Structure 1
Amino acid sequence: MPQLHSLFIPSSFSNSLAALTPKPSNLCKAFHHSTELSFTLPDLPTSLKEKIISLEIMGIDSSRALSLNPDLRDATPDSIHSVISYLQSKGIHHKDFARIFGMCPKILTSNVRSDLIPVFTFLSKDMRVPDNNFRKVINKCPRLLVSSVRDQLRPALIYLKRLGFKDTDALAYQDTVLLVSSVEKTLVPKLGYLMGLGLTREEAVGMVLRCPGLFTFSVENNFKPKHEYFVKEMGGSLEELKEFPQYFAFSLEKRIKPRYQETRERGVKMPLPVMLKSTDEEFDEMVQRQQR
């Protein structure tokens, strides 16, 4: 059977995608899928058909990728090849590409010199990420590769450091999404919402330092309904939220409401962190213990 990449992919693109071809055990399945796809595609230019099938072979939803990044239609195989080759040179593995490009198909039409090199320079110099850890960071947050260092990454880092985020390792490997968050549209408004609850700026900052995930939660879909339930139904105090900002990380419907309703029905009380952080077994044991 001819190799898939030589069947469907232009020669300048094939070398980079060769290792992305499915393993032998899955080769026939991928071949039939690709062949069927080639017959069901509408009357499109050959170059676009090849591109669509190439994306599918990599495990990428081609319709989604083309919808999110229309520039892919006109991208040359050589330009895509240069992106893939550069990422490989930075330690990104072939097996990572399906997820990375699937999440951010715009990466495939990036300019290596003006878009990608500045990101890796930022990771190296500003974030102190060693070369052998680039893969870990990029897999954690592929959106880094489509973020402007000047307009997004560096301003976010400066703002976060001014708030008190001193651990750059934590920002690089755990809370990476904060670096791709807009200071003006995301970080400042969410801090402002917490202050609007009655907290001082220092107290609000203390909450996000203890629970960085607060910067990733939606005001409308997370903060507001959970705060309303906490105040109106649970009779909670602002002091409790200040001490346990992780409250907002728990599901309202699956954890907060069921746990609180059970304690109320059983006539027992327990601290907010204990009620929410305990496992189902631990929670049941504590409820039964207090009822004795």
Structure 2
Amino acid sequence: MKAFTLFGPSDTILLFGAASSSVSSRTQLSFPQTQRLLFCRAETDASVSLVNVPPNLLLAEREEAKAVLRMFLTNQGMNRLTAARKMKKLDRFVDHLMLRLHTVYKTRYLVGRELTTPEIRDALIPYLDEFVEEHGDNFVEVLEYFPIPIVKENNTNANTNTSDDDNYVVESSEEFVQKATSHSRASNNTETPNLPPHVVYLEELGMELEVIKEVIRKFPAFAYYSLEGKIKPVVEFLLDLGISKSDIPAIITKRPQLCGISLTENLIPTMAFLEDLGVDKKKWAKVIYRFPALLTYSRSKLQATVDFLYEMGLSPQDVGKVLTRCPSIISYSIDEKLRPTSHYFDSIGVNPAVVMSRYPQVFGLSVEASLKPVTDFFMQKGYHVADVALMASRYGAIYSFSVEDNLLPKWEYFLSMEYPKTELVKFPQYFGYSLEERIKVRYEVVKESGVRLLLNQVLSLSDEDFYKLLKRKVKKKNACA
């Protein structure tokens, strides 16, 4: 492991670096309390070069590093809630990831350039993969109890020289977090006459100042995104795709990280990748509005989900339709959502590929809390599992309804409609219509007319077609009389 050191807020800063086993160099420098600098010790002449690194850049990059780590945990099978809780215990390891960035991109810091999201991911994801390979199932525990030796330090060779990377020192994360928070508070003061340019720009797009504050509160890195370099190019690109200007605030609110993605290096290539997987390129405006986070997932995550859809039995055409109509399917954990739901439908005789192709949103529900209660409800009403399977195949959305608030009151009214129970097996879409505004109104009209219509005819026809059919039925009845 690299011999990194973090210094704190004291006025005196110590730099340590071992030139050999018998000699250790120690350089002591004093600076004013308010000045915080990034130090790099050059191996050639032991000189120290000082380069200012704005705290706001370090904070933004730390938030990006945390986002990468959180995403990595979910990709390893941890659900998002657990990953979010676990992140609270990983501050020390996040600091270590920051040092990793500083090592990999040292020359970028020397010229003061901010790292892009793809650069951060490219540096950290392979590094995290190495942790999994080395520690296996224990890797999360290793991160939580960091610093324990993660990569064995090469201390056995007494004559091994250390490079300049081994003595890379940065300002403590606590300090630049405090500074950036203070800056953020000043920027968010509504009484401040000179708001940051990107805040003014977002307000011009129709984004409320309070909403901007909330976005920054939840995702502090957004406060430090460059207007000209990041936010504006992404917004203009979205507008060119056909997204309405009025929809931009909602998109940014849902996924502010989108504004940190490079158009040429990440966003556009990811869109091309998704188009190859079947996303309808003519419908990008709707897809992004529905689920802007889609463009922030890694290629490996996208491909893994698509591969599972193929494994379920979906055709390439169906996969494209699912990704276009329900792009949030990418956010569902394969091991915690997609696979268990697929197995459950299999267990009751339903082809999961059919449900996925027609009602993919159902796969985001809990098997125990949402799916099983619906099946149990119909079984308790006297239906066989084969009947429930038919209902699910014909109208998978039935599993997204609340038993107490939807199924039960509509079932009770259905019993008064004098239809056989088999009518619901033929037309489970009945539960998708409003009880007060559609079902009761239409059925009362049919009942008063004295004729009989199929449940499908009562509910699925447009008003015009419904009354035309009813008129023909009444006329035929009168003619027969």
TM-score, normalised via structure 2 length: 0.45
Q: Check if 1:68 corresponds to 2:251.
A: no
**Following TM superposition, by how much is the alpha carbon of 1:104 offset from its aligned partner in structure 2, in angstroms?**
0.7
2 CA distance for matches of 1:161 and 1:147?
Answer: 19
Could you tell me which amino acid in structure 1 is paired with residue 226 of structure 2?
P
More helix by share: 1
User: Do the aligned partners of residues 208 and 83 (structure 1) sit closer, same or farther apart at CA in structure 2, a change above 3 Å counting?
Assistant: same
Residue in 2 aligned with 1:176?
360
Q: Which sections of structure 2, spanning at least 5 residues, go unmatched? A: 1-117, 119-200, 210-222
Asked if structure 2 preserves the Cα contact closer than 8 Å seen for 1:38 and 1:53, the reply is no
**Following TM superposition, by how much is the alpha carbon of 1:158 offset from its aligned partner in structure 2, in angstroms?**
1.6
2 CA distance for matches of 1:264 and 1:56?
Answer: 52
User: Do the aligned partners of residues 234 and 58 (structure 1) sit closer, same or farther apart at CA in structure 2, a change above 3 Å counting?
Assistant: same
Secondary structure at the aligned position of 1:59 is classed as coil
Of the three residues 318, 322, 329, the one matched with 1:144 is 329
Could you tell me which amino acid in structure 1 is paired with residue 248 of structure 2?
S
Asked if structure 1 preserves the Cα contact closer than 8 Å seen for 2:322 and 2:357, the reply is yes
Residue in 1 aligned with 2:446?
263
User: Do the aligned partners of residues 276 and 137 (structure 1) sit closer, same or farther apart at CA in structure 2, a change above 3 Å counting?
Assistant: closer
2 CA distance for matches of 1:136 and 1:264?
Answer: 40
Residue in 2 aligned with 1:45?
226
Of the three residues 161, 179, 186, the one matched with 2:346 is 161
Written as runs of structure 1 = structure 2, the 5 A alignment for 1:130-279 is: 130=316, 134-166=319-351, 168=353, 170-199=354-383, 201=385, 203-219=387-403, 221-231=405-415, 233-234=416-417, 238=421, 240-242=423-425, 244-276=427-459, 279=465
Written as runs of structure 1 = structure 2, the 5 A alignment for 1:75-94 is: 75-77=261-263, 78-94=265-281
**Following TM superposition, by how much is the alpha carbon of 1:255 offset from its aligned partner in structure 2, in angstroms?**
3.7
More strand by share: 2
Identity %: 28
Count of matched residue pairs: 255
2 CA distance for matches of 1:235 and 1:243?
Answer: 15
2 CA distance for matches of 1:91 and 1:242?
Answer: 33
User: Do the aligned partners of residues 195 and 91 (structure 1) sit closer, same or farther apart at CA in structure 2, a change above 3 Å counting?
Assistant: closer
User: Do the aligned partners of residues 187 and 133 (structure 1) sit closer, same or farther apart at CA in structure 2, a change above 3 Å counting?
Assistant: closer
**Following TM superposition, by how much is the alpha carbon of 1:133 offset from its aligned partner in structure 2, in angstroms?**
5.5
Could you tell me which amino acid in structure 2 is paired with residue 265 of structure 1?
E
2 CA distance for matches of 1:235 and 1:133?
Answer: 39
Asked if structure 2 preserves the Cα contact closer than 8 Å seen for 1:164 and 1:209, the reply is no
**Following TM superposition, by how much is the alpha carbon of 1:226 offset from its aligned partner in structure 2, in angstroms?**
2.0
Secondary structure at the aligned position of 1:85 is classed as helix
Of the three residues 293, 296, 305, the one matched with 1:106 is 293
Write the deviation string for residues 234-276 of structure 1: whole angstroms up to 9, x where unpaired: 3666565456434323443454223321233234445544544
Asked if structure 1 preserves the Cα contact closer than 8 Å seen for 2:257 and 2:296, the reply is yes
1 CA distance for matches of 2:274 and 2:390?
Answer: 37
2 CA distance for matches of 1:205 and 1:128?
Answer: 19
User: Do the aligned partners of residues 50 and 119 (structure 1) sit closer, same or farther apart at CA in structure 2, a change above 3 Å counting?
Assistant: same
Could you tell me which amino acid in structure 2 is paired with residue 107 of structure 1?
L
Residue in 1 aligned with 2:242?
59
**Following TM superposition, by how much is the alpha carbon of 1:82 offset from its aligned partner in structure 2, in angstroms?**
4.0
Q: Check if 1:125 corresponds to 2:125.
A: no
Residue in 1 aligned with 2:175?
none
Asked if structure 2 preserves the Cα contact closer than 8 Å seen for 1:127 and 1:172, the reply is no
Secondary structure at the aligned position of 2:376 is classed as helix
Asked if structure 2 preserves the Cα contact closer than 8 Å seen for 1:222 and 1:248, the reply is yes
User: Do the aligned partners of residues 212 and 40 (structure 1) sit closer, same or farther apart at CA in structure 2, a change above 3 Å counting?
Assistant: closer
2 CA distance for matches of 1:235 and 1:93?
Answer: 45
User: Do the aligned partners of residues 58 and 242 (structure 1) sit closer, same or farther apart at CA in structure 2, a change above 3 Å counting?
Assistant: closer
Residue in 1 aligned with 2:4?
none
User: Do the aligned partners of residues 49 and 167 (structure 1) sit closer, same or farther apart at CA in structure 2, a change above 3 Å counting?
Assistant: closer
Secondary structure at the aligned position of 1:80 is classed as helix
1 CA distance for matches of 2:202 and 2:433?
Answer: 46
**Following TM superposition, by how much is the alpha carbon of 1:221 offset from its aligned partner in structure 2, in angstroms?**
5.0
Write the deviation string for residues 145-164 of structure 1: whole angstroms up to 9, x where unpaired: 22222222222222112221
Secondary structure at the aligned position of 1:92 is classed as coil
Write the deviation string for residues 18-52 of structure 1: whole angstroms up to 9, x where unpaired: xxxxxxxxxxxxxxxxxxx7893589831223333
**Following TM superposition, by how much is the alpha carbon of 1:102 offset from its aligned partner in structure 2, in angstroms?**
1.2
User: Do the aligned partners of residues 252 and 52 (structure 1) sit closer, same or farther apart at CA in structure 2, a change above 3 Å counting?
Assistant: same
User: Do the aligned partners of residues 269 and 40 (structure 1) sit closer, same or farther apart at CA in structure 2, a change above 3 Å counting?
Assistant: closer
Pairwise CA RMSD: 3.5
